[in-house]
Chain A
Amino acid sequence: MPSQAMLNHVTLTVNGVPVVVQAASTVAVAMMIAGQACRTSVNGEPRGPLCGMGICFECCVTIDGKVHCRSCQVLCEQGMEVNTEK
């Protein structure tokens, strides 16, 4: 039987490393908890979420192989594989 704590949490991987987040967290939150940049800028700088509402595209990541997903607009799912965009 899964415990209550497990039901309230979701495990996904960020750049191959497992991250546990509260259920109903966005992928952008998972990136921040993992301490990973979402994307690498044209000049090679790390970038993370800025606007939090789907406007700025700074939080774009690759989710389960789909590129350029705005991580602040996507909810975490169990087993999701998320990667920083280079």
Chain B
Amino acid sequence: MSTRADAWPAGGIQPDWTLTVVPSTQDESGHDLPLSELDDRRLVEACLGGRIDAFDVIVERHQRAIYHLCFRFVRRHEDAADLTQEVFLRAYRGLRRFRGDATLATWLYRIGVNLCLNQVAARRVQETPIEEAPALRAAGFDPASQLMSAEAGARVRAAVARLPPKQRATLILRVYQDLSHREIAQTLGTTVGAVKANVFHALGNLKRLLAEEAIGKP
């Protein structure tokens, strides 16, 4: 979109320049590119220029990763869906503050981690008893083909939930979201060394918690 000199009414003062307001979403030959073919940075620019449908593409592209992140923190499908929606709403509100020095995914993760930690701290997340595993299957989850039983998976998730917040966030981003140490450092605003130390202590605590849980199990 641009403001062209010939768009001004006759008789008025006509500027002799053309001001490009929105970054082009065209290729080099001038053809409009489908939004789905734009990279994240250009989608953000298009969105800031008024193309709200560009934000829809951002959502489609990242909703799965953000949902999985939220689920690892709150362990309930409904809560994870609500938090995912909130992450994207906050991203939309703060889109101007996205400076592009990290990837959009990292930025979304940062919003998600902060939101999830605040959410978990603010209220006691409803525990999902292991006995409810069949109900999850009925709601659309199908862990039958997975290596671990639903019960064992629930025990791991419960142990992760008992980790201190920073260790928990680091472990989730590293193990389940498969972020590099550098990306985790960017997301959490810390150093690569601190991330590795947190992974080390998180895994040690996880093993201890699972062992305690196994011993205490009748």
Q: Do A and B come from one complex?
A: no
A residues adjacent to B (C-beta < 8 A): none
B residues adjacent to A (C-beta < 8 A): none
